[in-house]
Amino acid sequence: MPEIAQLIETHLSSYCAFGNPGSLHRLGVSAMESYSNSRRRVASVLGAQSEEIIFTSGGTESINFAIRGYLEANPRKGKHVISTRTEHKATLAVLDYLSNHGHEVTYIGVDSAGEPNWLEVESAIRPDTALLTFTHVNNETGAILPVSKLVDIRNRINRSAVIHLDCVQSLGKLPLRPSKDGVELVSMSGHKIHAVKGVGAIYIKSGIRMQPLIIGGGQQGGLRSGTESTFLAEAFALALEKSYEQSDAAYLKLTHIHNDVSSVIQSFGGVILSPENGSKYILNAALPMFEAETLLHALEEHDIFISTVSACASKNKKASHVLAAMGIDKSLSRSAVRISFSRFSQAEDIEQINKALGEAIKRYAL
């Protein structure tokens, strides 16, 4: 995003931006003002108070902090955690770690559209359930979690259980008001909203006690030590504002693009694996005549860059755990690719995909 590039350039070349927000001289003070201002802007977009926002290095750190930070700070709330089988690896790895260190995790199954089985959720919640950690928009399929359903069930059965939402894929794309929605912890990432890689944030509802993951100089109220990066924080704030300013228009545009690309894929014999009512930013589909990686490389020749499952896990070469949980056959999921759109996607992209797919099939289909 040109505005972000401009912002970072200004920061890096300006004398004033040199200051460390922790310093007492005027350079430091002005850096701290800039940092606090970024935090206020983020809070304002999310309808939160600025003390409820902590900047992090990205989605993975936020998720780690949300889950471990809450459970470690509140041991008396119980040792039971509820989640789903379709979480991102950042969550699954933390839960795996916790279950090896005295916690108990219940994983909820999902249906063929990726929606959690609500009866299972109801029966899983116990008096010692401390945390429910769910993904708002699934990173592989775009399946959207009906947050209000989850909150209602929690409120009905165990009000003291805290909800953490992984909003890395939904931030800037779907409406998000944590306090109004009734969730206590929200993880966010900067690069998914066209800020830069290396910045993220976490929303922590005021009054929720957290144990920091990173300790040191006591920055950000002691919750996340490390010198505050003024330009990363501002890039995050600006990107977030821009995303929400344009999210309605983007949604309309992407609905068309998503539908048209789906039709193109189907016309080539492909199968759409994303749920119908899912996010318009993610399209998961399988063209059974290709292994996913073959299609990825074939489209790369046309400067179209898609992913096999989640980019973070693609080097593991395993079939997608998300598609497996949705009951998708392995023979189909080995062909599954994920096409991501953004508000910068154009109608012309559809024709380009159409052409590239046609050629890939002609040249490389087996």
Q: Which of 294, 307, 320, 333 binds other proteins (CB under 8 A)?
A: 294
In the complex, the smallest distance separating the C-beta of residue 338 from other proteins, rounded to whole angstroms, is 17
- Say whether residue 152 binds other proteins (CB under 8 A): no
Cβ contacts of residue 262 below 8 Å, gap of 6+?
Answer: 272, 283, 285
Strands (E), 14-112: 53-56, 80-84, 104-108
Q: Which of 293, 302, 352, 361 binds other proteins (CB under 8 A)?
A: 293
User: Which CB sits closer to other proteins, 183 or 360?
Assistant: 360
- Say whether residue 286 binds other proteins (CB under 8 A): no
* Parallel, antiparallel or unpaired: strands 271-272 and 282-286: antiparallel
In the complex, the smallest distance separating the C-beta of residue 300 from other proteins, rounded to whole angstroms, is 7
Contact 94, 80 (CB under 8 A): no
In the complex, the smallest distance separating the C-beta of residue 272 from other proteins, rounded to whole angstroms, is 22
Q: Which two tokens stand for residue 129?
A: 């359930």
Residue 312 annotated as catalytic: yes
CA atoms 227, 231, 237, 240: torsion sign: negative
- Say whether residue 118 binds other proteins (CB under 8 A): no
Q: Which of 297, 330, 331, 347 binds other proteins (CB under 8 A)?
A: 297
In the complex, the smallest distance separating the C-beta of residue 315 from other proteins, rounded to whole angstroms, is 5
- Say whether residue 355 binds other proteins (CB under 8 A): no
- Say whether residue 120 binds other proteins (CB under 8 A): no
The CA–CA distances, whole Å, from 164 to 48, 59, 91, 102, 265 equal: 16, 13, 11, 20, 35
User: Which CB sits closer to other proteins, 76 or 362?
Assistant: 362
Contact 69, 98 (CB under 8 A): no
Q: Which of 122, 248, 300, 329 binds other proteins (CB under 8 A)?
A: 300
Chain Cα centroid distance, residue 40:
21
User: Which CB sits closer to other proteins, 160 or 316?
Assistant: 316
Q: Can you name the residues that pair with 202 across neighbouring β-strands?
A: 54, 187
- Say whether residue 298 binds other proteins (CB under 8 A): yes
Q: Which of 202, 296, 353, 357 binds other proteins (CB under 8 A)?
A: 296
Angle, CA 54 vertex, CA 49 and CA 58 arms, to 5°: 135
Q: Annotated catalytic residue: which of 312, 332, 361, 365?
A: 312
- Say whether residue 336 binds other proteins (CB under 8 A): no
Please tell me the distance from the alpha carbon of residue 18 to that of residue 147, in angstroms, as a whole number. Answer: 42
Q: What residues are annotated to the active site?
A: 312
Residues in contact with other proteins by CB under 8 A are 291, 293-298, 300-301, 315-317, 360, 364, 366
